[in-house]
Amino acid sequence: MNDITKSTPAFDQSFIAAQNARLADDLARDYEHLGAVLRRRGIDIETITSAVGKFGVAAPSWAAGSGGTRFARFPMAGEPRHIFDKMDDCAVVNRLAGATPAVSLHFPWDETEDPHALRAYAASRGLGFDAVNSNTFQDHPGNARHPLSYKYGSLTHTDPAVRAQAVAHNVRCIELGEALGSKALTVWIGDGANFPGQQHFGKAFERYIESVQAVYAKLPAGWQLFLEHKMYEPAFYATVIQDWGSSLLAAQAVGKNCKCLVDLGHHAPNVNIEMIVSRLIYADKLAGFHFNDSKYGDDDLDAGVIDPYRLFLIFNELVDAERNQGAGFNPAYMLDQSHNVTDPIESLMTSAAEVQRAYAQAMLVDREALAAYQTNNDPLMASQTLKQAFVTDVQPILATARLRKAAAIDPVAVYRASGYRAAVARLRPAKPSGGGGIV
């Protein structure tokens, strides 16, 4: 196997350092200035930079290739051919942006008969594995483990044999995850109905609980089971786990280590997601996130491109919980995006930084002042307190955190200068454009 990490400068420390050298003086000045601004507000910039440096968000393996819609997929040069190529691309993302030390796999898309070899390959590129995801939302032709169709559902199918097949797949995902060093399984199903009357809501939900309980029974010690809800698509009338209420009911019925995962694109328009986050924290049922952004529905756009304030408000709740609960508060952070028109490596690097930005800004909120404004019913100043944190340009903090871990001050510029995409394009034959392909 051609070792791409040796044949492009994207991984070369001296190349990255030379690129950084051109920006380092300006960055140092900007950082010092920001430090002074924050000091006036009683904030130690080093505390924020150190927390940002420790913050990681997992990269989804399925986002390394070009995404698509129901209408078309436009492949780009050098798309990963298999999970090892995906790991190479994710390694570039982490090497240059320094924020994605783990990868979230999806089975059977990332099927491997030798997870130990994959784990070693990932480790050699400085990567570990986050939650594993099970795919029973499409058929897998030719895969002997999935002879039965999921057209009418998986974990909630009316046929017990299909349910058993879907349960078995989830259990296999856990086994693969164990070999990889993962600690959680995320379950999202597309089960639901396209027509009123198609499905008995109550019975389908009961079948879901029963199936998830069977999966939960196989959960190893120290593992968690994440239930991901989504309002619609592919079921356009009703989805079995369509909202956080259904997800919470199910998680409570299944057990302590079963929690609710919040994908930012999976809500009704204008829903107050930060409030859902607060409620799940209250119930001790917040599993974590699939970060992305959207304008209309489950758009799977890059985190922070449409509504960075919403992302900030979510992190405002998370930082509040972190302050209250300490180290025990540890949600899983993952990206889940579809890169239809950008180079996925560039999108993943910038998205990870957007998530870090929201985290850094949320740490700047003057919580004592906010609490006083809330107590004294001063909505204007309460809102201004949040805004003051949100409008603070934390770019020097993010860039300094990257520099300190020998990543790139400007990841996209270094990536482009490295010629990585052209190098992999020479190695990896183009994939046919095919039909649609929502990820």
Can you give the binding site for ligand PSV, defined by CB under 6 A?
62, 133, 188, 228, 230, 263, 290, 298, 336, 439
129 binds, among Mn ion, ligand PSV, none (CB under 5 to 8 A by kind): none
Asked whether the CA dihedral 381, 385, 391, 393 is positive or negative, the reply is: positive
Asked if 290 is part of the footprint of Mn ion (rule: CB under 5 A), the reply reads yes
Residue 292 binds which entry of ligand PSV, Mn ion, none, CB below 5-8 Å type-dependent? none
H or E element at residue 132: strand 132-134
Q: Which is nearer to Mn ion, 96 or 131 (CB)?
A: 131
**Cα–Cα distance, 322 to 328 (Å, whole number):** 8
- In this structure, the dihedral spanned by the alpha carbons of residues 154, 86, 341 and 402, taken in order and rounded to 10 degrees, is 120
Q: Which does 230 bind (CB under 5 to 8 A by kind): ligand PSV, Mn ion, none?
A: ligand PSV
The least distance separating ligand PSV from the CB of residue 269, rounded to whole angstroms, comes to 16
Task: Give, in order, the Cα–Cα distances in Å from 331 to each of 54, 118, 190.
Answer: 14, 25, 24
Q: 88 contacts which partner out of Mn ion, ligand PSV, none, CB within 5 to 8 A by kind? A: none
Residue found by looking up tokens 């999202």 in the block: 188
CA distance 413 to 418: 9
Name the region of 428 (left: φ>0; alpha: ψ -120 to 50; beta: rest). Answer: beta
d(Cα 425, Cα 69) in Å, to the nearest integer?
Answer: 23
Q: Is the N-terminal amide bond of 331 cis, ω within 30° of 0?
A: no
- In three-state secondary structure terms, 104 is strand
Query: Please, what is the minimum distance in Å from the beta carbon of residue 56 to Mn ion?
Result: 18
Q: Residue 229 interacts with Mn ion (CB under 5 A)?
A: no
Nearer to Mn ion, 100 or 361 (CB): 100
Assess 336 for contact with Mn ion (CB under 5 A). yes
Angle 344-363/395-404 helices, nearest 10 degrees? Answer: 110
Q: Would you say 438 and 68 are in contact if contact means Cβ atoms under 8 Å apart?
A: yes
Cβ distance to ligand PSV smaller for residue 92 or 105: 105
- DSSP 8-state symbol, 29: H
Buried b vs exposed e over 134-158: b needs ≥16 C-beta within 10 Å? Answer: bbbbbebeeeeebeebbeebbbbbe
Select 31 or 107, whichever has its Cβ closest to ligand PSV: 107
Extract the tokens encoding 254: 């299944």
Task: Please say which residue, 62 or 244, places its beta carbon nearer to ligand PSV.
Answer: 62
* Contact status: 293 vs Mn ion (CB under 5 A): no
Q: Identify which of residues 260 and 401 has a Cβ nearer to ligand PSV in the complex.
A: 260
Q: Output the smallest distance, CB 297 to ligand PSV, in A.
A: 10
Min. distance of Cβ 300 from Mn ion in angstroms?
Answer: 8
CB of 298 to ligand PSV, least distance (A): 6
Query: Among candidates 54, 64, 69, which has minimal Cα distance to 84?
Result: 64
Beta bridge pairs of residue 50? none
Residue 298: which of ligand PSV, Mn ion, none does it interact with, CB under 5 to 8 A by kind?
A: ligand PSV
The answer to whether residue 191 forms part of the interface with Mn ion (CB under 5 A) is no
Stretch that binds Mn ion, among 16-24, 328-336, 388-396, 414-422 (CB under 5 A): 328-336
Q: Which is nearer to ligand PSV, 34 or 258 (CB)?
A: 258
| Partner interacting with residue 133 (select from ligand PSV, Mn ion, none; CB below 5-8 Å by kind) | ligand PSV
Q: Which residues bind Mn ion (CB under 5 A)?
A: 263, 290, 336
